[in-house]
Structure 1
Amino acid sequence: MFKHIKADLPASLVVFFVALPLCLGIALASGAPLFSGIIAGIIGGIVVGAISGSSIGVSGPAAGLAVVVLTAISDLGSYELFLVAVVIAGVLQVIMGFLKAGVIGYFFPSSVIKGMLSAIGIIIFLKQIPLALGYEEGETPFAFFETTGFDLYRSLSNMVTSIDPGVVLITAISLVILLVWDKVLVKKSKFFKLVPGPLVAVLVGIIYQLILSGSDSPFEITGNNLVSVPVPDNFGDFLSQFTFPDFTQMGNTQVYIVAITIAIVASLETLLSVEATDKLDPHKRVTPTNRELVAQGVGNTMSGLVGGLPITQVIVRSTANVMNGGRTKLSAIIHGFFLLFSVLLIAEYLNLIPLGVLAAVLLIIGWKLANPGQFVTMKKLGKSQFIPFVVTVVAIVATDLLVGILLGLAVGIITILINSYKNSHFLNIEDKSNGVHRIKMELAEEVTFLNKAAIQRELYALPENTYLILDVTKTKALDLDVLEILDDFSVTAEERNINVKLISQRGEVENPHSYREFFGVNVFEGA
């Protein structure tokens, strides 16, 4: 387990610094206690990380569930009752894992998953802009995390007049450190490979804040532009931040509706993240999805029992893990311990970290995910790959993750249907002499009801006095719907002086009157 700790430990530090503000921001956006996000991050790292079969996936509270959580807490009337729903949702996920529901993730095409990654990269990049500029919308810049679509672009345009020079400066310094560290210094010495650039950027940010704090300088960073972690006075104060579920209202049907909703949405987001993370893995390991659902279920049950938010595997933290050299699940586990120790021991020092530093880390991650070269690569693969990819990207950026994924999937299915329609058969005009059209039609290996319209159109477009050679020797599956079309055509063919020669692995026959009788069954296996 500790074989790759030299790679996992630095990666876990970066994931920790990325996860900390996200845990707080998602809790805030969910209308839940701030500490609930930290709890979910700790359990997602330690518990889910230990049970999961994913080598590089990182779990914690997910932004995609924030709206669901916010609505559920309001509908149920108390956070304690909402926690009951989280516990039940976890149990449902464990059951789904044992029922092998994890296979659902494999039904999403590669073009849609790649589109999801690029879209998430774009969103990550855009949503760091307020943190990088020091823009505060409402009470906190975290409110911007849940902004999507038209509101996202409108908020971006409003930021031009609300720039904090101190935040811009530390963001620029952090970007320079990260880029120079990654592009230049790591190639110069092993020391720079062992020490992660983001950790150096964070330390520089803390030093910057210590120097300028209370100086009344225009470059001083204050208020909501700093990390804000609850600081307990003692261990008892720390324990008082935990909230426990109210099981006295287990009979409330609304609790079960919320639980089912959380279980479905969290499971789908996890499976999509697993699919995407596996594609990012340089070692191309495959995560066992059923085991992942069980791990997430156990994590959600425990999180609900001690006052945490719902948990999913999350692409932002997983991507940070991969791109900073994480090799095994130890990285995710250690990041969970870092979250635990940070709120226990060094919370006051974490509150010195400017959010601009963390924005710089995520700006680079977002750029790498949304690499423009990916669009060029997908375009070269053809329309069947490029169109679902682009639709997924645009839909996710304009709406949200689940809507975008479903739209991309729908376009992918339509593309498959169109290709299936086109590829049902092959026509070859062999001879037109003596007023007789000699035409060969070769059916594809698998012909289903999806192909019947194309085959019917082709058959009934044949001119009179045609000699048709119908070759089904390569066909392995032939649907009843197509056989019925052929039987109907045999009547029309006789009236229009069209002679048909059927060639199959069963032999050859001239002008068959019943294709169903010839093949014997509605779906035959070309013997």
Structure 2
Amino acid sequence: MPGTGTFREDFGASVVVALVALPLCVGVAVASGVPAELGIVTGVVGGLVTGWFRGSSLQVSGPAAGLTVLVYEAVRTYGLPALGVLVLAAGLVQLCMGALRLGQWFRAISVAVVHGMLAGIGLVLIAGQAYALADARAPAGTLGKLAGSAELLGRADWTAVALGAGTIAVLAAWRRMPDRLRLVPGALVGVAAATAAAALLRLPVDRVRVTGVLEAVAPPGWGDFGVLASAGAVGTVIALALIASAETLFSAAVDRMHDGQRTDYDRELVAQGFGNTLCGLLGALPMTAVIVRSAANVEAGARTRAARILHGGWLLLFAVALPGLLEVVPLAALAGVLLHAGWKLLPARQVAALWRTHRGEAVVLVATASAIVATNLFEGVLFGLGLAIAKAAWETSHVHLEQVWEGEELRVRIVGNASFLRLPKLLDELDALPRGGAVRLDLTGLRHLDHACLTALDGWERDRAPLPGREGVS
């Protein structure tokens, strides 16, 4: 049970986190193509349910921009009723991974792949929300959206663009405000300002459509589970589970901001799995731990998990008592919030730093992001992981020759890891050795020798063997 000695700090932090989470919950839901209330439902579950688990004390969970692309594609492909089944199955996968203590393995994922994933998500988010900002119909697919961006200028509703741009300007400027003012989240200020301007000036822009929390919650029926017979749906489940888990455990970086309890990766994975299972039963959005809300929680002075539990209560109170307020929020303002979030996901500094120090890692990052834009989130991440593994295999397969003359015999010591990846280079260096004298291969310096290299060295030795009356390999 959270301690009572820190209730004042946790109570204040919970209000701040709820104000940060509210526009993001609604914005992520709208961008995912589902009713706005479902985003709030996921935020409530992330607080009131997942918040009780001991995996992490200060991480805050809810719907995340990082899953928007995947959820949107899933809803478009399989329909809204199937979303609950997919999220439920993903939650069960997370529970199994946590029970098998696989949480620690997520720490082994290449940082370049993680940043590439976030960059790809940011690019897809920007491409999609640019149309929402302009109140224009978006083409299908990210490449289609990018290709149609030139025509967007001619179709844009400039009133909506002004509201969205104003929201982004408030978000950018709010970081430079005094600390006392920044206790109120910039996203809330930006959306509130845009909403007030649209209401006072009676601007004809699209607004959030509200059906009510109880009406929006639609638990999946037995017939909806048939979607899992599709290989594509199973791939979506795996992608949801892996990406939500990776983003959750990546958000554990918030531990660096406080001196409290460190994150237990396996327990946190179980907590997320339980939360997503419940979200699936409610037909809501999937959840992850979100770095923005978690950082706001720490910065607001939270001390225990009571803050994240209470933030879920504030979201529930808002959804039940004041749902009508959502109907006056312009969609362009929420698009501005998500555009700003997408921009912050682009790791420009990390790419520049990696290019100066580890160019191979920079290539993996850019390639992962590009693959996500060109295909989809799941395939793009798999491509990035494969590229990172191939890069690691290449870098660890270094092999070189050391030549030492011992009288009239040349001893060639092969040092390193002799794998098929370096076989062409190894054979070229062996073929370049002086011919006519005795050569002795010394394999004691090899840490690894695969079958392909062993076979090739045997063949090279036979080819180099001396003819009758001549010296050769000893």
Q: TM-score, normalised by structure 1?
A: 0.72
- Give 2:377's aligned residue: 401
Q: Distance in 1 between matches of 2:392 and 2:123?
A: 27
Deviation of residue 408 (structure 1)? Answer: 1.7
Aligned: 1:270 with 2:224:
no
Superimposed CA distance per residue, residues 159-178 of structure 1 (whole angstroms, 9 cap, x where no aligned partner) = 21233343333334333433
Superimposed CA distance per residue, residues 331-371 of structure 1 (whole angstroms, 9 cap, x where no aligned partner) = 65455334322221111123222333333333333333214
Q: Contact 1:437/1:467 (CA < 8 Å) preserved in 2?
A: yes
- Give 1:508's aligned residue: none
**Higher relative contact order structure (alpha carbons within 8 Å, sequence separation ≥ 6):** 2
Secondary structure of 1:427's aligned partner: strand
- Give 1:47's aligned residue: 49
Superimposed CA distance per residue, residues 75-133 of structure 1 (whole angstroms, 9 cap, x where no aligned partner) = xxxx3x87566545544442333123445534532211121222223333343323433
Q: Distance in 1 between matches of 2:448 and 2:188?
A: 59
Q: How does 1:258-407 map onto structure 2 within 5 Å?
A: 260-261=234-235, 263-278=237-252, 282-283=256-257, 287-305=263-281, 307-309=282-284, 311-313=286-288, 318-321=290-293, 324=296, 326=298, 333-407=309-383
Note the aligned Cα RMSD (angstroms): 3.9
Q: Distance in 2 between matches of 1:180 and 1:111?
A: 30
Cα distance change, pair 13–430 in 1 and its aligned pair in 2 (3 A): same
Cα distance change, pair 13–499 in 1 and its aligned pair in 2 (3 A): farther
- Give 1:117's aligned residue: 118
Deviation of residue 379 (structure 1)? Answer: 1.2
Q: Distance in 1 between matches of 2:53 and 2:122?
A: 28
Aligned: 1:246 with 2:221:
yes
Secondary structure of 1:495's aligned partner: coil
Q: Distance in 1 between matches of 2:431 and 2:411?
A: 13
Q: Contact 2:236/2:378 (CA < 8 Å) preserved in 1?
A: no
Amino acid paired to 1:160: L
Deviation of residue 469 (structure 1)? Answer: 6.8
Amino acid paired to 1:400: N
- Give 1:56's aligned residue: 59
Q: Distance in 2 between matches of 1:447 and 1:296?
A: 43
Amino acid paired to 1:404: G
Secondary structure of 2:251's aligned partner: helix
Q: Contact 2:143/2:374 (CA < 8 Å) preserved in 1?
A: yes
Q: Distance in 1 between matches of 2:163 and 2:229?
A: 47
Amino acid paired to 2:152: M
Q: Distance in 2 between matches of 1:441 and 1:384?
A: 29
- Give 1:66's aligned residue: 72
Cα distance change, pair 287–116 in 1 and its aligned pair in 2 (3 A): farther
Structure 1 unaligned blocks of 5 or more: 138-143, 214-219, 232-237, 501-510, 512-527
Amino acid paired to 2:280: G
Q: Contact 2:402/2:415 (CA < 8 Å) preserved in 1?
A: no
- Give 1:230's aligned residue: 211
Superimposed CA distance per residue, residues 301-345 of structure 1 (whole angstroms, 9 cap, x where no aligned partner) = 32233x32352427xxx2432564646766654553343222211
Structure 2 unaligned blocks of 5 or more: none
Match for residue 205 of structure 1 among 175, 194, 198: 194
Q: How does 1:432-451 map onto structure 2 within 5 Å?
A: 438=410, 440-444=412-416, 446-447=417-418, 451=422
Q: Which has the larger radius of gyration?
A: 1
Secondary structure of 1:362's aligned partner: helix
Secondary structure of 2:112's aligned partner: helix
Secondary structure of 2:63's aligned partner: strand
Amino acid paired to 1:169: A
Q: Distance in 2 between matches of 1:121 and 1:14?
A: 19
Superimposed CA distance per residue, residues 472-521 of structure 1 (whole angstroms, 9 cap, x where no aligned partner) = 66655555665555555555554276777xxxxxxxxxx4xxxxxxxxxx
Q: Distance in 2 between matches of 1:375 and 1:102?
A: 27
Q: How many residues align?
A: 455
Cα distance change, pair 89–24 in 1 and its aligned pair in 2 (3 A): same
Aligned: 1:15 with 2:21:
yes
Q: Distance in 2 between matches of 1:359 and 1:253?
A: 34
Amino acid paired to 1:265: A
Aligned: 1:182 with 2:188:
no
Deviation of residue 392 (structure 1)? Answer: 0.9
Aligned: 1:411 with 2:387:
yes
Q: Distance in 2 between matches of 1:299 and 1:498?
A: 74
- Give 1:97's aligned residue: 98
Amino acid paired to 2:42: A
Cα distance change, pair 349–27 in 1 and its aligned pair in 2 (3 A): same
Cα distance change, pair 391–460 in 1 and its aligned pair in 2 (3 A): same
Cα distance change, pair 181–136 in 1 and its aligned pair in 2 (3 A): same
- Give 1:161's aligned residue: 154
Aligned: 1:108 with 2:109:
yes
Cα distance change, pair 260–298 in 1 and its aligned pair in 2 (3 A): farther
Q: Contact 1:111/1:385 (CA < 8 Å) preserved in 2?
A: yes
Amino acid paired to 2:348: P
Q: Contact 1:378/1:389 (CA < 8 Å) preserved in 2?
A: no
Amino acid paired to 1:66: Y
